[in-house]
Amino acid sequence: MLTTGEQIRKLRENKGLPLRKVAAELDIDQSILSKIERGERKATKNQIILIAKIFEVNEKELLINYLSDKVLYELINEDLAVDALKVAEKKIKYGRKKK
């Protein structure tokens, strides 16, 4: 399982694109993209959507990986993380039914 940053790096390297070119398409500094790839900084949702377009990959899959990373970083050191995720899933389903 790759983190979002690792996945972005792999996509970029597979296309043979330098950091500077992808960073320019994202309208960010290449040092920021480098930090995203190393997991030192988080991409925004809009950046993830644009990355999916740049690399012509499934946007939904990339967004799912991005969201799972957000959850992971928040809960990784919590002993009750798995139980909390089960409750959160129920709350999400309940919240969607109310709409």
31-64 pLDDT, tens digit per residue, is: 999 999 999 999 999 999 999 999 999 999 999 9
Q: What is the pLDDT of residue 81?
A: 95
DSSP-based helix, strand, coil % in the chain, nearest 5: 75, 0, 25
Closest among 34, 39, 43, 41 to 12, alpha carbons compared: 34
Total residues found in the chain within this entry: 99
Q: Is the pLDDT of residue 15 over 90?
A: yes
What is the pTM (predicted TM-score) of this model? 0.85
Query: What's the pLDDT score for residue 98?
Result: 82
Q: Which residue has the tokens 């129920």?
A: 90
Residues 6+ apart with CB under 8 A from 66: 4, 43, 45, 48
Q: Which domains does the chain have, with CATH numbers?
A: 4-98 (1.10.260.40)
79 secondary structure, DSSP code: T
